[in-house]
Chains A and B, each alone.
Chain A
Amino acid sequence: MKPIPLAKNAEQFIGDKVREAHFDEKLWMVRQMRDAAARTIPEWEELRELTSAIKEHTLSNLAAYLEMFEASAKRNGVNVHWARDARQHNEIVHDLLKARGADSLIKSKSMLTEECDTRAYLESRGIRVTETDLGERIQQLDNQPPSHIVGPAFQKTTEDVAELFGRVYGSDRNRAEPVYLARVMREHTRPLILEAKAGLTGANFAVAETGAIVTVTNEGNADLSGNTPKIRICSVGIEKIIPKNEHLAVFIRVLTPSATGKRITQYTSHFLGPRNGGEMHVVLVDNGRSARLGMEKFWPALKCIRCGACMNTCPVFRRSGGLSYEATYAGPIGMILMPAFDLHRYREFPKASTMNASCTNVCPVKINIHDQIYDWREEMEKKGEKPFPEKALMSGAGKLLSHPRAYRLAARSAHTLLNLLPRWAIYNRFNAWGRQREMPEPAKQTFHEWYKKNRMRSAK
């Protein structure tokens, strides 16, 4: 597959000044709310240390915890399935539905099912799939993937949503009022929820000791999806396991403040077993996770709890509109997750960073995100995944830097040339820096000239 033209996509988004400002401001607001929430918790840093250590412990003993989870879930009357990859996951879900004659499914937001492209798979086999999360449903109605892991429709303005609902539901296109629009959605989605034959949720956590699938939502969509129909399916990435309820408490305390700046979400839900007369299935999905466990530098990315804090704080992501990444995981966490799926396709990702490390600082499970971004750059370099201008530039710079005389000559000439050359010769398509910025003013003398004049004399 061809590499995602991330920079080009983002450039296009930036051209839309209204939405660029909207996305940037909204995410920055969430980032500030996150900061305020974290400041109200005196033990915030201690909690981050704990979450990180608990995840590292669990991941380093994952096989045993997976077996423990499976045994607990079975004891609770749950059917546990294992899926090697996205395709196998989708087949399992489809087979379950088909065998029960279930032609309609309601689902709550799940990044894993985005990763597996489950909705498209099921829809193409005649299953009507309804997203119950408002943002996710907005994106479904507009035939777009989510732009953000917490707010799937964050890139849309209220006017965009009013226009979309007007088109799809016939509501008033001119009423760009969030409360009105939420009511329109409620009225149209409720009947689909009540009629659905099966429900699917993801998992924020899976507790090994109790077999609980834990979901965290504001709308209660996991509860609606998981309780209204008799058939409940939970899709769970194998890295979601944590040992016990006492550990769950620590994660619940950091997840929501990091994601939305609230102390807790409206619904923290624990599904341990099927209801009376119902059935519950858990699909444990690998899809590259076990391979990542063996990647010395990159396994800690499996600690991620999908809060989106790294995205909100990232100056590059905030100006990308999210969809520019054309990937399930975007922003800083996407930069370190996606290349493991396909190095060539996502080769631009690790470059979309200013290396300010803010992502690492806000991460509630202390993933060394910016270090991993750097390490993925090295990885790209090793595997020859570099666009042509950069390759040419680096090879030229390499030659120049290994020949001091040539370097001194070049430095002096650059100084002269920047002053003499016409704009077109400096600001062309090979100069990425100059696309949105002026070149820095050249210094009056090179460092070498300055040193020779000032220090070499005093040294004598």
Chain B
Amino acid sequence: MGTREEILENVRKNQPAPRALPPVPSFHRESRAFVETFEEALKSMAGEFVDRPPTDFGSFLRERFPGAKNICSSVPEYRGNMTPEDFADWADAAEIDVTIVRSPMGVAATGSVVLSEKELGVNTIAFLAHDIVILLDPKNIVENIHDAYQHPAFREAKYAVLMTGPSGTGDIGGVTLHPAQGVTTLTVILWPEA
């Protein structure tokens, strides 16, 4: 008998008598103020929030990221000097100063945005870049995590992540600090889809 069968056999032999699977409620609240909740939650995780598209995106980026040379954009709203297709070796995404990407969904209760290989192309552009700017249509903000997990990305994408603020760590001193190993800042701009 192979290891697989041996383990499954032991599990079958030992597992306790079957117990019922409870239904999971949606836990919706009365309030529909998703944008406000999203903003508050994102800021509590050290994320930055911009409530409308800047009139001049180029000068917005220059002002926020004055030293940035390599801007990797995967959105039509801005033409950077790099695109995800440039990185045959995914480790090369470490050259990116700022990544710009659109998220298909935000989560009000936690201030999270979802990103998958569909938006990223090369997944590492979301981690190895120094900073990340995420465009989000306010219509695509759902109330809570229960709603979020209905999104097809969590069934269909080979890789999907709920990102909530920039990379952080509490391993020294016990209080969360930034930066850690990933992006040093994360900015969400509410920007309706064209």
Interface residues of B in 148-185 (CB under 8 A from A): 148-150, 154-155, 157-183
Q: Say yes or no: B94 contacts A134, CB within 8 Å.
A: no
For A260-289 the 0/1 string (1 means CB < 8 A from B) is 101111111111111100000000101000
For B95-118 the 0/1 string (1 means CB < 8 A from A) is 000000000000001111000010
In the docked arrangement, what's the CA distance between A63 and B10, Å? 9
Q: Say yes or no: B15 contacts A63, CB within 8 Å.
A: yes
Q: Which residue of A is nearest B2, CB measured?
A: A82
Q: A152: shortest Cβ distance to chain B, in Å?
A: 7
A309 contacts chain B at the CB level, 8 A cutoff: no
Given contacts A134-B171, A270-B160, contact A249 B24 (CB under 8 A): yes
Q: B57: shortest Cβ distance to chain A, in Å?
A: 25
* Tally of B interface residues using CB under 8 Å: 72
Counting chain A CB atoms within 10 Å of each CB, the highest count among B128, B159, B169, B181 belongs to B181
27 cross-chain CB contacts under 8 A = A29-B174, A57-B20, A60-B15, A60-B18, A61-B15, A63-B8, A66-B8, A66-B11, A133-B171, A151-B171, A151-B174, A178-B172, A182-B177, A186-B181, A194-B91, A220-B183, A227-B90, A227-B127, A245-B154, A249-B145, A264-B162, A267-B163, A269-B162, A270-B161, A293-B16, A299-B14, A299-B16
Q: Say yes or no: B148 contacts A249, CB within 8 Å.
A: yes
For B12-46 the 0/1 string (1 means CB < 8 A from A) is 11111111111011010000000000000100110
In the docked arrangement, what's the CA distance between A146 and B145, Å? 31
For B80-100 the 0/1 string (1 means CB < 8 A from A) is 000000000011001000000
Given contacts A183-B179, A266-B168, contact A53 B19 (CB under 8 A): yes
In the docked arrangement, what's the CA distance between A132 and B171, Å? 12
B155 surroundings in chain A (CB, below 8 A):
210, 245
A252 surroundings in chain B (CB, below 8 A):
145
In the docked arrangement, what's the CA distance between A286 and B159, Å? 26
A202 contacts chain B at the CB level, 8 A cutoff: no
Stretch from A153-161, A166-174, A319-327, A349-357 forming part of the interface with B: A153-161
In the docked arrangement, what's the CA distance between A250 and B25, Å? 10
Q: Say yes or no: B177 contacts A178, CB within 8 Å.
A: yes
Q: Which residue of B is nearest A52, CB measured?
A: B22
In the docked arrangement, what's the CA distance between A324 and B3, Å? 35
Counting chain A CB atoms within 10 Å of each CB, the highest count among B163, B164, B169 belongs to B169
* Tally of A interface residues using CB under 8 Å: 92
Q: B72: shortest Cβ distance to chain A, in Å?
A: 15
Counting chain B CB atoms within 10 Å of each CB, the highest count among A154, A247, A249, A260 belongs to A249
B183 surroundings in chain A (CB, below 8 A):
220
A348 contacts chain B at the CB level, 8 A cutoff: no
In the docked arrangement, what's the CA distance between A54 and B22, Å? 7
Q: Say yes or no: A293 contacts B180, CB within 8 Å.
A: no
B61 contacts chain A at the CB level, 8 A cutoff: no
In the docked arrangement, what's the CA distance between A263 and B110, Å? 6
A221 contacts chain B at the CB level, 8 A cutoff: yes
B124 contacts chain A at the CB level, 8 A cutoff: yes
In the docked arrangement, what's the CA distance between A433 and B164, Å? 49
Q: B157: shortest Cβ distance to chain A, in Å?
A: 7
In the docked arrangement, what's the CA distance between A264 and B145, Å? 10
A273 surroundings in chain B (CB, below 8 A):
158-159
- Which of A151, A179, A220 touches B167 (beta carbons < 8 Å)? A220
Given contacts A67-B8, A76-B158, A152-B171, contact A268 B112 (CB under 8 A): yes
